[in-house]
Structure 1
Amino acid sequence: MNENNPLRDVFDAIADPTRRQLIHLLAESEDEVPLHELTAEFEIGRTAVSKHLTVLKEAGLVLDRKAGRETRFRLNASPLQEVQDWVAYYSKFWRGNMLRLQQLLEEEE
């Protein structure tokens, strides 16, 4: 589970392609984005988009704010640091393996 929000794991939240696309859309925006604008980017309904946003919100990746009758969303990318740290650990593994492979290929020449 995520330290910031024990409701949802960040890896679980980003596992779905629709949620990754929502993160991407929010990251591209310089301001908050209303639900209807996000929904327009998908072939799924408003309720489905809203459910995906709820998962992202539970993981701490999305913040929302009511503005009249409208809900506006923005990205909180800080929980993605957990993903970055995890990937960085395995980057070291692959770098080491690639160096060994390169040395082996050079020895065969």
Structure 2
Amino acid sequence: MSVDRLSTTLSALADPTRRAILARLAQGETTVTELAGPFEMSLPAISKHLKVLERAGLITRGRAAQWRPCRLQAGPLRDVAGWLEHYRRFWEQSFDRLDDYLLDLQKGEPGSSGN
């Protein structure tokens, strides 16, 4: 079974270490060593996280001599935001209906309080 791009992206985002790495890369490109700094894990462990992010298309890794800069690629995040937008509208509409219902209760409109 083939895994779709959205599932791959969401899976990569499921880990707090990977989300922290993306947050750091949102500030600009950096090296693996610099990315590993705040974490209490080995460079190979950080590299595994980077491979997951790279497979999901969330980062790219370049090569400039011995320096391997990592860069954020926001395209997959845009896809997630688009998918979530549908559910944001759903919740906003639900809250609007709840707000209307509560206003009706406060006004004491017939049939709204179940009396």
TM-score, normalised with respect to structure 2: 0.84
Give the greater-gyration-radius structure (CA): 2
Pairwise CA distance, 1:69: 2.2
1:14 and 1:108 map into 2 onto residues whose CA distance is 42
Match of 2:82 in 1: 85
Which protein, 1 or 2, shows the higher relative CO under an 8 Å CA cutoff with sep ≥ 6? 1
The 5 Å alignment of 1:48-87 reads 48-87=45-84
Aligned partners of 1:35 and 1:70 also within 8 Å: no
Q: Provide runs of 4+ in structure 1 moved above 3 Å.
A: none
Structure 1: 5+ residue stretches without partners: none
1:71 and 1:46 map into 2 onto residues whose CA distance is 13
Match of 1:9 in 2: 8
Structure 2: 5+ residue stretches without partners: 107-115
2:10 aligns to what SS in structure 1? helix
Identify which of 39, 44, 67 aligns with 1:47. Answer: 44
Match of 2:113 in 1: none
Pairwise CA distance, 1:70: 2.8
TM-score, normalised with respect to structure 1: 0.89
State how many pairs are aligned: 103
Percentage of pairs with the same residue: 37
2:5 aligns to what SS in structure 1? coil
Aligned partners of 1:23 and 1:75 also within 8 Å: yes
